Structure 1
Amino acid sequence: MKLDVSGALTQEPQHLLECLTDFYSNLSDHRPLGIAVSGGSDSLGLLYGLAAIVPPHKLVALTVDHGLRPAAADEARWVKAQCRRLGIRHETLKWQSGQPVTGLQAAARAARYRLLVQASARLGLAAVVTAHTRDDQYETLAMRRARSASDDAPGLAGIPTATLFEERLWVLRPLLELTRETIREFLRSRGLAGWVEDPSNTDTRFERVRVRAQLEHHTPQQEGPDPAQIAMRRFQLASDAAALLDAACRVEGDGPVRVRFDATARMDVVTAALEALIDWQGGAARPLDRRGKATLASFLASTSGKANGSVMSLGRTLVRRQGAFLTVERERRDVARLMLPPGDCGVWDKRFEICNRSKASPLYVSGASAGVLPCFTRNQREYSTQFHRDDGVIGGFTCRPLLGRSSRILPVDQLPLAQTLARLARGRPLPRCPWGESHGIAALTAIKVQRQTPV
C-alpha cells in the first residue's frame, strides 16, 4: 500500500491481478465470461487483467455504442483492436431505439444492460463482468445519502457485488475493492498509457460528475454505517422473510396469496415478506416509498390482535385481514388490454410476460372476469387462464409470471426472497449466482467502504 497525493491509501498495481485471480477461482459456472468494455481506464484494466489469467477463448468483450456521440463508433473499433491484440472475441452492441430528451443517463444505463442480457443469452455466457470501482461506490453512496432520511436505507448498501437482470444475466463486479488509480497504475505498468476519455465524465449537467468533483477534495474518513454491513443485514432479512413465506404462505388456485399471521413473528420480517408479496402481485417497478412503508406499518399495527374486516389498498394490491390470515391480491381495476402481433412478446399488466408464437394471427390479452389474471383470445377463441407455467406452448403462445422488481433487477442480497416468490408463482427458478457456491454473498463482507464526508 502507498499514499497518493491526497494522502489516501491506494493499492499496488499487482493487487488487480490478485483480486481477479481470487474472483475467477471462485466462479462455479465455467462457460465463457462477458466483459463490458467501454474503453475507459477501468474497463480496459479489467480487460487486460482478465486476459492475463483467463484463456482467451473463455472471454468475450462487449462494447455498447449508445449512438450519443459521433466518436463512439471509433472508440468501439479501438476497443476491438485491443481485443484483437489479446486474441479475445469482441462484439459491438448498438442502441438502436430513440434516445429520450430527459433522463438520458438512466435510459442509456437501462439500454446497456438490456443489450448485455440479449448478448449473454445469444453467446451462452456465464455472466458479464463490469469494472465498477471503489470510486464508483463512493459516488453512488454520496448521491444516495443525499436523498436518504435513514442511515439504514436499502440504497446505502451501495453497488451490489452481483446483480441479476431480467432473471437471466448475472452482472458481477469484482473490482469494487480497488480504486481507479490502482487500475490506471496497472495499465501504466503494462505500457498502456492511453484509454478512452468519455466527455460525459466531465459534463456537470450530470449529478455523478458533480459529486465526483466534490469527492476529489475529501477522503473517506467520517464514521457511519458500513455498506457491507447494511447489505448483509438485508440478506439476512430477505432469508428470514423467505423462510416465513415458505412456512406460512400459499396460493390457492387463482385466488389471493394467503399468509398465516403470526403475532409472535418479528415485525420487520413480516413487513419484508408482505412488501415482497405486494411487489409481486402489484407488478411493482419500484419499492414502496416512504409513505407506502408508513401505510403498511400502520396497517400491520392496527390488525394485530384483531379478527376480520381490515383492508388496505397499496401498490395496486388489496391487503386484507381474514381470520388468522393476511391476503394479498391485485386490485380489480386499471387492467389494460394487450395486442401482440404474430411472433411478438410483451408484458401484460406489469405481471406476466407473454409471447405470441403464431406466425399468422395476433393474440389479444385482457383481464379475466375477476380481472387479476390474463385471458387470451385468438380468432374468437378464448383460452383458459390456468397456465402458471412457461415450459409449454398453449394455443400458440407462452405466458410466465413476473416477480415484480425481482424479475427486472435483483441485487444478490435479495436472492433468497426472490427464489421463494418464484416458487409461489410456479415460475422457473432463478439462476444461482455464479460467483462460487456462496461467494456472491460472502463477497459482500469483503467490500469495506467507509462513509464519505458529506458534500
Structure 2
Amino acid sequence: MQLDHADKALLHWIDRAFGAERPARIGVAVSGGGDSMALLHLYMRWAQQSGVPIAAVTVDHSLREGSAAEAAKVACFCAEHGIAHETLVWDNWDGHGNLQAAARDARYWMIAAWALANDIDGIALGHTKDDSVETFLMRLARKAGIDGLALMESQFTREGLRWARPLWLATRADLRSYLARHDVDWIDDPSNDDVDFERVRVRQALVALSDLGVSQDALHQTAHHAAQARDALDHYTRIEAGLHITQVGGDLILPAKPDLPAEMIRRLWTKAVQWVGRLDYPPRATSIRHLQGGLALDGKATAGGCLAITEGGQVRITREHQAVKMMTGATHLPWDKHWQLEGPHAKDLHVAALGEAVKDCPDWRETGLPRASLMATPAVWRGDMLIAAPLAGDSRGWTAQIVADFHSSLLTH
C-alpha cells in the first residue's frame, strides 16, 4: 500500500518513540479524543509491520457525565480491531487539593500498575506540539524558571516504567487530518470548550498571540531552548553536587555558603531536599527560600518533609521525624521509599520510625548521627516493642541500606 507522505512521518515517529531499546510490549494510553485515537491507530498499523504486540488502556476519571460511554467506545474500537484493551476507573478523589493534578497523578500510577500486571514495559502517550505550547504558556503565567518552561520530555521514566510521547512534533490539526484520511472517529471532550479550565483559556489566547506574530512554532522553539538550558544546568549540577554534597546515611551535608552562582546553589538545595524528602517533584523555589531563611534566623528549619540544621559552616539536611512518624510497613518492603531492611523477617514484625525510642539505644551517640536524624530512621517493631534500630547502633541481626543513593539519583532525574 502506498503511504501518504504525512503518514510516513507519523509512523516514523512511532517507530522511533522509545529509541533503540524498543519495549517487548507497548501499552497505548487512549482517552478516545482525537490525539489518542490517532496514536492508537498508528500503533495498530505499526504493530502489524513490526510484530511488537500492543495493548490499550483507558482511564475513566468519573468526573463528568458520559465518561463511561466514551471509554466504552474505545473498548468497542479495540474489540473490532483485535487490540487488547482495559478500562481503569478512578473514583477515589477525596475532594482536597488540585483536582487536575490529582487526576494526572492517579492516571500515571494506575496505568503503571496495569502495565506491570500485563507484562508491558513501555507506555505511549498522545501529547502533541499543541500540548507543549499550552503547557509553556501556563507555566509562564506561574513565573516558572528554566525547568518549568522546558519542553516536555519525549521519553522519561516514572513509576519504574518507560514512557514516550511519539507525537510531540505533531499538531492536533495533523492528527485530525490523519483520522479523516483513515475514516477513524474520535470523541470531542465538551470540557475542551469550557473556559473554566485554564488550558482552554490558553488555547484562546494563542489565537491572539498568533495575530501579534508570536506563533506556535516560536513558542515551541523557545521551550526547546529552555530544555537545552535545563539539560546543561543539570549536567553541571551533578558535577557540583559531587564536589560539595556528602551523603551520610540518609542525610546530606553541604556548605552553608558555597562559592557558586546563585542558580547553582538553588539547584543543589532543590535536589537535596527532593531526595531527602522523597518528593516526586522538585520543591518550589519559595520552599527553598523559606528553608534558607529559617536557617539564617534560627539555625534550623523545615520544608518538604526535611529538617535542615546548621552545623558550623555546613548544613545537614535530614528527614523530618514529623513526616514519617505515622509510616509503617512490612519488614521485607522498602520503607519511606529509601530504606531496605534485611534480617530475621517475621509476620508479626513491622517497620516504623525510631522516634523517641532513640533513648533506648545506648550506643546511638557512637553512630555519629544527630538525634534528630536517628528519630526518622527505620526501626523494627513488634507491636509497641522495639526489636532493632540498625542505624542507631542496636542492630540485633538487622541492617538497613539506602535503595538508591543521592548521587546516583541525579542521573535519573
Selected match of 1:196 from 187, 196, 200 = 187
Match of 2:252 in 1: 257
Match of 2:179 in 1: 187
Match of 1:384 in 2: 389
Q: 1:280 to 1:200 in 2, by over 3 A?
A: same
Q: Distance in 1 between matches of 2:229 and 2:176?
A: 34
* Stretch moving more, 124-133 or 241-250: 241-250
Q: 1:96 to 1:216 in 2, by over 3 A?
A: same
Instruction: Give the letter aligned to residue 141 of structure 2.
Output: A
Q: SS of the residue aligned with 1:53?
A: helix
Task: Give percent identity, aligned residues only.
Answer: 25
Match of 1:237 in 2: 233
Instruction: Give the letter aligned to residue 363 of structure 1.
Output: H
| 8 Å CA contact retained: 1:335, 1:367 | no
| 8 Å CA contact retained: 2:75, 2:85 | yes
Q: 1:402 to 1:103 in 2, by over 3 A?
A: farther
User: Alpha-carbon deviations, 1:330-370, whole Å to 9, x = none?
Assistant: 35656522345x7998975x86699xx98954736233423
Matched, 1:16 2:10: yes
Selected match of 1:159 from 152, 155, 158 = 152
Match of 1:313 in 2: 301
Q: Distance in 1 between matches of 2:257 and 2:284?
A: 25
Pairs aligned (count): 377
Matched, 1:143 2:138: yes
Match of 1:412 in 2: none
Q: 1:208 to 1:353 in 2, by over 3 A?
A: farther
TM-score (norm. length: structure 2) = 0.76
Q: Distance in 1 between matches of 2:199 and 2:65?
A: 23
Match of 2:38 in 1: 45
Matched, 1:178 2:182: no
The alignment yields a C-alpha RMSD, in angstroms, of: 4.0
User: Alpha-carbon deviations, 1:42-69, whole Å to 9, x = none?
Assistant: 0010111122222465211111122234
Greater share of residues in helix: 2
Q: 1:70 to 1:102 in 2, by over 3 A?
A: same
Q: SS of the residue aligned with 2:16?
A: helix
User: Alpha-carbon deviations, 1:192-220, whole Å to 9, x = none?
Assistant: 2x211222222222211222233244428
Q: SS of the residue aligned with 2:169?
A: coil
| 8 Å CA contact retained: 1:142, 1:211 | yes
Selected match of 2:353 from 356, 366, 375 = 366
Matched, 1:328 2:317: yes
Q: SS of the residue aligned with 2:72?
A: helix
Q: Distance in 1 between matches of 2:113 and 2:180?
A: 34
User: Alpha-carbon deviations, 1:219-242, whole Å to 9, x = none?
Assistant: 284367811121122122112222
Match of 1:65 in 2: 60
Matches within 5 A, 1:269-284: 269-284=264-279
| 8 Å CA contact retained: 1:163, 1:171 | yes
Matches within 5 A, 1:277-316: 277-284=272-279, 287-294=282-289, 311-315=299-303, 316=306
Instruction: Give the letter aligned to residue 313 of structure 1.
Output: A
Q: SS of the residue aligned with 2:46?
A: coil
Match of 2:74 in 1: 79
Q: SS of the residue aligned with 1:49?
A: helix
User: Alpha-carbon deviations, 1:143-177, whole Å to 9, x = none?
Assistant: 111121x6x442111433233323x1222112111
With a CA cutoff of 8 Å and minimum separation of 6, indicate the structure with the bigger relative contact order. Answer: 1
TM-score (norm. length: structure 1) = 0.70
| 8 Å CA contact retained: 1:337, 1:364 | no
Measured after TM superposition, the shift of residue 253 of structure 1 is 4.1
Q: Distance in 2 between matches of 1:100 and 1:298?
A: 33
Q: Distance in 2 between matches of 1:419 and 1:132?
A: 31
Instruction: Give the letter aligned to residue 83 of structure 2.
Output: I
